[in-house]
Amino acid sequence: MVMACRVINKRRHMGLQQLSSFAGTGRTFLGPVKSSKFIIDEECHESVLISSTIRLLESLDLTSAVGQLLNEAVQAQNNTYKTGTSTLLFLVGAWSSAAEECLHLGVPISVIVSVMSEGLNSCIKEVVSLQVPIYNVFDHLDSTKTFSGLETFNISLCPFLQIPSDTGLQKERDLNDVASPSLTTYSLSGIPVKSPKLFRRQTEVEADKNTLQNPQTLKNSLLASSHYRKSILIHSRHFNRTANNQWINKPDGFLEQHGAATPNTYRCNDLVELEMGLSHGDHNSMKLVDEAVRLQYQNASIQQGNCTMPFRFDISRIFTCCLPGVPETFSCVCPGFITVVSISNTTLIKELENQPVRVILIEGDLTENYRHLGFNKATNINTLLESMKIQQNSSEEVWTNYVLQVLIKFNVNLVLVQGNVSEHLIERCIHSKRLVIGSVNSTVMQAFAEASGAVQVTYITQVNENCVGNGIYVAFWRSIPSDVIDRINVITIVIKTEGINLVTVVLTSPVTAQMQTKEDRFWTCAYRLYHALREQKVFLGGGAVEFLCLSHLQILAGQSLSKRNHVCSGWLHNTSSWLASSLALYRPTVLNCLANGWHRYLSTLMYNTACCSSEFEASTFIQQHLQNARDSGSPSSYILNEYSKLNSGIFNPSISNKLEQIPSIYDIIIPKIEAWRRALDLVLLVLQTDSEIITGLGHTQLNSHETEGFLFL
């Protein structure tokens, strides 16, 4: 691994600097356009292509205490939600710098911890206003409208700005990264539309006046839909105001806008719209997810018959089969279990095709020496083999013969094993026309048990007639060109039976280095949809939530500043607590530092998606809209009103009569919020833990040659 390094100033907080250094390595992974990295091993000079936070941390040297804490936080986020790790990593870096800045300004550590926690909790409560409920998205799943049938076009997907590809404003930045998804957006009617933008530059706002005279100019807005809502906020100071465009909470929990000719109720009740919003530009992966969901829905409808049980997306019954070196045109979704086996099984598969076979399911390993977890060998039994002069492999041969006898006795031609399988047994089974497959997922085993009537056993000695399943079919998956088969040296087969609730997504790529990235992106899209359907609500996406957090914290900081002035003038004369007075004194500083983290997040997001040529330009652009939000008196209303402008026809007049709905961008709620919490918890943990070590160390005790060091990543 080629190691990066950063100078560490020992006069500053060591742990926070290390967090910032680690987090800085993944800043290009933030947003829908991810710049890939090559990780090179210094010893063997091998390299791997990565474009995700998880794969990055797997390749870095994280032996330090701070590195291990960061890795644990990211792994916990990934294991629980399978998404949000890039956000977590970036915010760890941004808020580490914020905490370090607070220390530099002399803010006590206890105040930093208290105010930062208070600020994030306040943000989480504030963004409830940007939630959109999901209702009955499967009611119209039988319609002809599908994700795969929609036309596409290229856009630059970005939180605040969407630059049309047919204008002269497109940035001259290469977005065709080898591992970047194709950024496209679709209209539900099948007509390609430009992705909407929430915030537009001043020059574009002025150009709105000439829209009808210049049909080539496309006016967009970030997130748009005719179905949005706001949760009931009876204590919100923003939504109790009166204005020309007023957002009123209806008794059913939806958000209704008055001041227009026709009130709008905001929600999402269409699966394709939801998938489009959650794809974040990776339409190829979400298309596969959509097909998998529809297959599950069809299977559930057939099994339920006249029963009207609500359908639930079961992500545990979806599996991936990766085929590196195969053209991408072979990527698809199929019912049943698709896996790869050795090319030596070709003749056997041909003989098993087009006929039902019987199956045995083994929970553990299928080897001679395998014993289940917790097995204790009897201490009073000794096996004497030396005096018998038996060859070393004779016992395995005896065991192999016994296994074959069991398979012949019960006429079994297929054995699925959850663990490892003896290579010798596999060869013997091929000669006797029996297929043995190892390393099968436990959920796959359970699905075959339910569909075929088989009973899973731990040892082959436990097999009896009642344990054997029936009606299994084995066949070649697809006709792959012979030259490809010779190159990958495996064949792909499909195993299925009637009524089995399994869906396999076959992922292919001619570039082997891209295979892991492609699989990661598929699961990211799948889990986004899964969490959205499970929560039955989503956030307005594309940076709207983070912008609201930024604006909200700045408002809180301004309010705290006025209170601090009263403190300094003796207004709070009853305040005797040092902590209370310190909180009042330093709260504006800490809140502004916390808000700067959100500002850096949005600036980096815009720069990564080529909305701005530099982070400085993006920062200036964000400041303009922060001022607009403050002037409006309600940042929440400002954001929602920007959405409502789309209902006034702010899009290309040449296609306005063909559009049924403008596409939306959504974010999942709980994983996003948990990523925020984990990021801040980690920063505060390192802040407090490291303070126990370095507090009391005077600057005079540090020699000049000890004040700087290197952190190797």
Average pLDDT, the chain: 76
CA torsion sign for 308, 310, 314, 318 is positive
pLDDT band at 63, cuts 50/70/90? confident
Q: Residues 6 or more apart from 551 whose CB is under 8 A from it?
A: 626, 629, 630, 635
Mean pLDDT on 58-62: 84
User: What per-residue confidence (pLDDT) applies to 695?
Assistant: 54
User: What per-residue confidence (pLDDT) applies to 161?
Assistant: 38
Question: Is residue 144 exposed (0-12), middle (13-18) or buried (19+ Cβ within 10 Å)?
Answer: exposed
pLDDT band at 648, cuts 50/70/90? very low
Candidate from 47-51, 186-190, 257-261, 271-275 with smallest mean pLDDT: 186-190
Three-state secondary structure call for residue 505? strand
Name the residue with higher pLDDT: 364 or 143: 364
Between CA 599 and CA 341 the distance in angstroms is 51
Mean pLDDT on 479-497: 86
Mean pLDDT on 696-708: 45
User: What per-residue confidence (pLDDT) applies to 144?
Assistant: 55
Candidate from 464-478, 622-636, 683-697 with smallest mean pLDDT: 683-697
Mean pLDDT on 595-603: 95
Q: Which amino acid is at 669?
A: I
pLDDT band at 639, cuts 50/70/90? confident
Place of tokens 């709980």: 670
User: What per-residue confidence (pLDDT) applies to 39?
Assistant: 82
User: What per-residue confidence (pLDDT) applies to 438?
Assistant: 95
pLDDT band at 692, cuts 50/70/90? low
271 DSSP 8-state letter: H
Name the residue with higher pLDDT: 551 or 611: 551
User: What per-residue confidence (pLDDT) applies to 1?
Assistant: 44
Mean pLDDT on 163-171: 33
User: What per-residue confidence (pLDDT) applies to 655?
Assistant: 35
Q: Which of 113-122, 214-223, 579-588 has the highest mean pLDDT?
A: 113-122
User: What per-residue confidence (pLDDT) applies to 405?
Assistant: 95
User: For the stretch 186-222, what's the b/e string if a residue is b when 16 or more beta carbons lie within 10 angstroms of its beta carbon?
Assistant: bbbeeebbbbbbbbbbeebeeeeeebeeeeebbbbbb
pLDDT in tens, 535-561: 999 998 888 899 999 999 999 998 877
Percent of the chain having pLDDT more than 70?
Answer: 68
Between CA 342 and CA 278 the distance in angstroms is 38
Give yes or no for a contact between 420 and 438, defined as CB atoms under 8 angstroms apart: yes
Name the residue with higher pLDDT: 373 or 408: 408
Name the residue with higher pLDDT: 555 or 157: 555
Between CA 61 and CA 148 the distance in angstroms is 42
Candidate from 112-121, 146-155, 309-318, 469-478 with smallest mean pLDDT: 146-155
The percent helix, strand, coil of the chain (3-state, each to 5) is 45, 15, 40
Residue 313 has pLDDT above 70, yes or no: yes
User: What per-residue confidence (pLDDT) applies to 633?
Assistant: 87
User: What per-residue confidence (pLDDT) applies to 625?
Assistant: 87
Mean pLDDT on 518-543: 94
Residues in the chain: 713
Name the residue with higher pLDDT: 313 or 246: 313
Name the residue with higher pLDDT: 322 or 301: 322
pTM: 0.80
Residue 493 has pLDDT above 90, yes or no: yes
Mean pLDDT on 591-610: 92
Mean pLDDT on 112-123: 95
User: What per-residue confidence (pLDDT) applies to 204?
Assistant: 44
Residue 702 has pLDDT above 80, yes or no: no
Name the residue with higher pLDDT: 16 or 309: 16
Mean pLDDT on 375-379: 59
User: What per-residue confidence (pLDDT) applies to 78?
Assistant: 96
pLDDT in tens, 231-244: 333 333 333 333 33
Between CA 647 and CA 710 the distance in angstroms is 55
Candidate from 152-166, 322-336, 394-408, 600-614 with smallest mean pLDDT: 152-166
Between CA 194 and CA 184 the distance in angstroms is 9
pLDDT band at 465, cuts 50/70/90? very high
Residue 195 has pLDDT above 70, yes or no: no
Place of tokens 């032996």: 63
pLDDT band at 71, cuts 50/70/90? very high
CA torsion sign for 610, 611, 617, 618 is negative
User: What per-residue confidence (pLDDT) applies to 332?
Assistant: 95
pLDDT band at 269, cuts 50/70/90? confident
User: What per-residue confidence (pLDDT) applies to 191?
Assistant: 32
Candidate from 186-190, 346-350, 553-557, 655-659 with smallest mean pLDDT: 186-190
Place of tokens 């359907």: 533
User: What per-residue confidence (pLDDT) applies to 145?
Assistant: 64
